Amino acid sequence: MKPQLAIRTNANHEIGIGHIHRTLAYADYISDFFEVTFYIDQTNEMVYDLVRKADYCLEILPFKSVVQDISRMLNRSQLIILDGYSFDTEYQKALKELGHKILIIDDLNAWQQLADVVINHAYTGSADDYQIGRETKLYTGFNYIILKEAFLKALFSGQRSNIQRVLICIGGTDPNGYSCKIAQYMLESTDKNITIITYSINTHYEALKQLEAANPERCKMLIGLNANELVTCFSSNDLAILQPSNIALEACAVGIGVALLQTADNQKFIKHNLLYSGCAVEFTVDTFHTIADISLDTVNKQIAAQSQLPFKKARKNHRGIIMDTFLYFRLAEPADVDFVYACNNDKLTRQNSYNPNAIEYSSHKNWYENKIQSPDSIFLIFTLLDTHTGMVRIDKVSSEHIISITIAPIFRGLGLAATMLRKASSFYFNKTNATEITAFIKTENMASYKAFLEAGFHLVETKLYNGSESYKMILKNERY
């Protein structure tokens, strides 16, 4: 079993459903590392369906007490992701005292964060001003954007030839009814076609339906769009009138003119970033009329600026955070003998090995006991939190220091190898006087070859090694 991950978040009429969408996006980035369960306070069936349709486990919490919350949900979870306004310093302290690892998705910087990791993809201030603990790792800026992969993979929209099609979404719940007010103004004051995106839990849902019914040729309402439908919607419209929340970032990932109305304090960082980078303009509740004056040149300049945003590497960067922070290693111990045997005797491992024959347990046990006691070998076991992911061994053979790696079958193909190799190599260089580490990889094992390249090894030559055509690769010790 992979390690358990708890995602604790909330949604309701007051705070909207943005935290749900954001944590669903984050779960998609890293779910192949973990068994994921969402924990949400009692709210609305529509919110529950968002999680269930994404194929994640869901637990509904009928209470808000911190003590009850912890005792109910966290006994199985090694890592907890928090996203919401109820998980303050005291809440985090209670989790830390129970020994849990914490990752915070934050958009406020409103209290001290005690988590292992804090991510705020829109923060524009100094890292020195962020309220974090001494051991907390902070990641800010659009390199760590949290968007659903449909937006990151979308083909970027091109320049527009006019501004005739206008999209409006001021939040899924929109308690102040701004979507309705803006749509009504645009219908009365312009000839533009209006599309309104909302959810059935919008408190002004009936008013929006009436507006649509009164303007059947120019106004349509779309309800509860999924990510792929939103991509299509952004691509087929010219201008989007949005609040500066994640939906504005989604729009910029696809490419469309953007006008922003800030409705909550936590939106200020996204607004600042998009305005500063030229990706959007803003208006207020008192300046609706300025929307009609946005020029085609302004829209196309925004789209050009949006195309330069560093969104495409987001998934890789977030997976890197998980591996850098929660992928541990230690020296192999006698109790690891069965794990090492299972990995080494795996069919694919034997296929890629220079000795493809199955291994007898008794000979493995003798080999393993000798290897972990040998002064010429450093044998490291890697874990993701407390779950074994694989091993790296470096043996001194004559004048060479030869490295090998094995990934546990359930963690293959997840990109762990390069990080394991980097961490193991750094540890080895710090423990020894080695000036370089050598690797030999069969030429047909391209996955391993690419992992070594990513870890900083470079190809020296192709040669026959132990009877097989192999790549010889070297990593230099930077101290020499």
User: Which residue carries 């992969």 as its tokens?
Assistant: 149
Residues 6+ away with beta carbon under 8 Å from 367: none
Q: How many CB atoms within 10 Å of residue 97?
A: 9
Complete edge-to-edge strand list for the sheet that includes strand 327-331: 327-331, 377-384, 387-397, 400-407, 436-442, 468-476, 458-465
Delimit the domains of the chain by residue range.
4-146, 151-306, 327-476
**How far apart, in whole angstroms, are the C-alpha atoms of residue 204 and residue 178?**
9
Query: Tell me, what's the pLDDT at 65?
Result: 60
pLDDT in tens, 396-415: 999 999 999 999 999 999 99
* DSSP sequence for 311-330: -TTHHHHHHHHHHHHHEEEE
| 385 SS3 class | coil
- What's the confidence (pLDDT) of residue 288? 85
CB 393 within 8 A of CB 403: yes
In this prediction, residue 200 carries a pLDDT of: 84
Return the CATH number of 327-476, one of 3.40.50.300, 3.40.630.30, 3.30.950.10, 1.10.10.10: 3.40.630.30
Q: pLDDT digits over 413-467, tens only?
A: 999 999 999 999 999 999 999 999 999 999 999 999 999 999 999 999 999 999 9
Contact 35, 2 (CB under 8 A): yes
The two three-digit tokens of residue 157, written as one number = 């929209």
Which CATH architecture group holds 4-146?
A: 3-Layer(aba) Sandwich (3.40)
Please state the separation of Cα 206 from the chain's center in Å.
Answer: 36
Lookup: tokens for 366: 């003798």
The pLDDT value given to residue 63:
62
pTM of the model: 0.91
- Kind plus residue range of the DSSP H or E element containing 452: helix 446-454
**Under-50 pLDDT residues of the chain:** none
pLDDT at 354: 84
Alpha-carbon span 24 to 110, nearest angstrom: 23
Integer angstrom CA distances of residue 302 from 13, 154, 366, 373: 32, 18, 66, 62
Distance between CA 423 and CA 394 in Å, rounded? 12
- Specify whether domain 151-306 bears CATH 3.40.50.2000: yes
Residues 6+ apart with CB under 8 A from 446: none
Of 431, 349, 436, 351, which Cα lies nearest the Cα of 390?
349
**Fold match between 4-146 and 151-306?**
yes
Q: Are 420 and 405 in contact (CB under 8 A)?
A: yes
